[in-house]
Amino acid sequence: MASTTNEVVYELPNFIRVYKDGKFERLSGTDVVPASTDPDTGVQSKDVIISPETGVGARVYIPKTTNPGQKLPLLVYFHGGGFVIETAYSPTYHNYLNSLVAEANVVVASIDYRRAPEHLLPVAYDDSWTGVKWVASHSNGGGDEEWLKEYADFERVYFAGDSAGANLAHNMAIRVGPGGLDGIKLVGIVLVHPYFWGKDPIGSEDISKREFVDKLWVYVNPGTSGSDDPLINPVMDPKFPSLGCAKVLVCVAEKDLLRDRGWNYRESLGKSGWGGVIDIMEAKEEDHVFHLFKPTCENALAMLKKVASFMNEEKA
């Protein structure tokens, strides 16, 4: 008889497989690449440890051309992967951020937070907040990361992410709130194909595919109140109108299951009394995080330029 330790008790396709003995394997997003100077863009990157106790870290990027005394917009980026797969050191994100830094001429701190199932939510939120506060600690000459002190403009800070990372970016802006965070001015957030959800279907959501999203959320956050938890359904959050920035860019994809959640976020935030400016960009004929897998396609390049422009507009 085969050992029962190899029996699969839980699986989320492309994410994770869990065995009866408690072991698990991530089914994608496990590759890493070292920090480097990118030969195509000249963008430089380095890895830093934010918290030795937890292992939370960041990969910091600067563009090829940096002039003495020039301060550039600072982007704090949160990677996607359903809170389960991918890291800040994945080739997918390393390549994307090299391109974004080159296009937008910004400094990036890509936060590497701890993931489920070893570290269930809200750990990723708390780790991300640790990363945000670490970034802010470099204002006024503090902190120990020279690239941030030398090149970052802490009056022009942005949060961004894709999928689960967009969820994190939104929730970090909620934590910043209208009172702000000492050391930085959060100008705006970019939410790419945000992982938002809700108990009741909206728009044209495919009912047959909802179970996967529901299962993933409960798996990474077993203590949740459900799919209307404000962490994943921001329109249910009483603090929604207190988003701590002046402008938001939401990017959605026409064939993405999460498309209507992005549109709903835009419409609901506009009606909430928040008072900022919100823009939305939809990529036709594309699916979830297409830009990471087809970075040179027309829609991906258009979105890259849109995000870069968003971070280089006049100060809000």
Question: Alpha-carbon distance 267 to 265, whole Å?
Answer: 6
CB 75 within 8 A of CB 311: yes
Active-site choice (138, 170, 193, 288): 288
CB 98 within 8 A of CB 43: yes
Question: Alpha-carbon distance 108 to 59, whole Å?
Answer: 8
128: nearest Cα among 142, 114, 141, 146:
114
What is the residue-wise DSSP string for 240-268? GGG-SSSEEEEEEETT-TTHHHHHHHHHH
Per DSSP, helices labelled H in the chain are: 91-104, 123-136, 146-151, 164-176, 210-220, 259-271, 290-293, 298-310
Active-site choice (99, 110, 163, 227): 163
To the query of whether residue 138 is one of the catalytic residues in this protein, the response is: no
Cis status of the peptide bond prior to 122, with omega within 30 of 0: yes
The sheet with strand 8-12 has its strands ordered as: 8-12, 16-19, 24-26
Token duo for residue 287: 């699916």
State the residue for tokens 């709130």.
177
Active-site choice (112, 127, 153, 256): 256
Judge residue 229's burial from the number of C-beta atoms within 10 Å of its C-beta, 0-12 exposed, 13-18 middle, 19 or more buried. Answer: buried
Question: Alpha-carbon distance 260 to 158, whole Å?
Answer: 24
To the query of whether residue 229 is one of the catalytic residues in this protein, the response is: no
To the query of whether residue 256 is one of the catalytic residues in this protein, the response is: yes
Catalogue the E-assigned strands of 31-115.
44-51, 56-62, 72-78, 107-112
Q: What are phi and psi of 25, to 5 degrees?
A: -140, 135
- Residues acting as catalytic residues: 163, 256, 288
